Amino acid sequence: MFLETLKLLVLSLWYNLESFIYFFLPRRRKDISGEVVLITGAGQGIGRLMAMEFGARSTVVVLWDINQDGVKETARLAKQSGAVSVHHYLCDCSDKNEVYRVADKVKREVGDVSILVNNAGIVTGKKFMDAPDSLIEKTMEVNTMAHFWTYKAFLPAMIANNHGHLVSIASAAGLVGCNGLADYCASKFAAVGFAESVGLELLATGKDGVKTTIVCPYFINTGMFDGCQTKWPKLLPMLDPSYVAKKIIQAVLTDQVFLLLPKSIYLVVALKNILPMKQGILLGHYLGVFNVMDNFKGKNKKQA
């Protein structure tokens, strides 16, 4: 017990010092050229921008989406950005059998995926009692269960090679509950817990070459949350999609486990866990959490 406690104290001191140093100095970035990167929900928004960012780093880019025109356009842009090769597939990530079928096709035609980006997501934007059961189920299937099936499909090869990267595009709503987003928050809380747990499982089994990055941004200005308003835009801004995509790529290149955007979310999450409940609710009112979905419109049919 004495030796383990001493080890804990010494390493804790070192890790905090290391973190302090990296606060001022940039972390070393790994080379991902030649890696096979698969992005779900790549037909538009953050998925498209990430495809271009990964393509610019000489990777093999694999794109999944349910929108054929959208994924074709993303493929064109990713190729222009410098990707070694680009492959696009129609895939409904809410359908387990389709995920497995298309995954097998990718492995035959492209090879083993070494960077998996679970980006596909949907939002109903309805109060819990107003949301049809079918939409609640679809939210969980796309935002959560799809991650299970893609991991099942592509993680075995990463484990065998002790090399790879799992990227979960979750949400700040997966860390802090939000009025009007019960099903969405539930799906994102589950996505965060799943990704974190699998990451720990990999470490426990000695597969430290397979990295995990969990991304929890505030609302991104892609149209998905059209109509939502932020009470304090300087503190909690609607995020620019290009900025978010670049920060995600940077997090992957530096093996950052958690990426919260903007940085104020780190403080919000910390306060949530230490404040008395009543004070937490008071803070929620102050930050506008209770009213952020009041004017929600979401994507129109053309955008969707």
Active site residues: 184
**Bond from prior residue into 132 cis (ω within 30 degrees of 0):** no
Q: Residue 88 to residues 107, 158, 199, 215, 270: CA-CA distances in angstroms?
A: 13, 21, 28, 24, 40
* Tokens encoding 40: 């779900």
CB half-sphere exposure, 14, CA atoms < 13 A: 6
Cβ atoms of residues 259 and 247 within 8 Å: yes
What amino acid occupies position 60? V
Q: Who's near 70: CB < 8 A, 6+ residues apart?
A: 43, 44, 48
Cβ atoms of residues 90 and 68 within 8 Å: yes
CA 221 to centroid of chain Cα atoms: 16
Q: What DSSP character marks residue 31?
A: P
Residue in the structure block whose two tokens are 């998905």 = 224
Q: What is the DSSP string of 100-133?
A: HHHHHHHHHHT---SEEEE---------GGGS-H
* Tokens encoding 141: 């299937």
Q: How far apart are CA 285 and CA 14, in angstroms?
A: 39
What amino acid occupies position 206? G
SS3 37: strand
Q: Which residues pair with 64 in a beta bridge?
A: 89
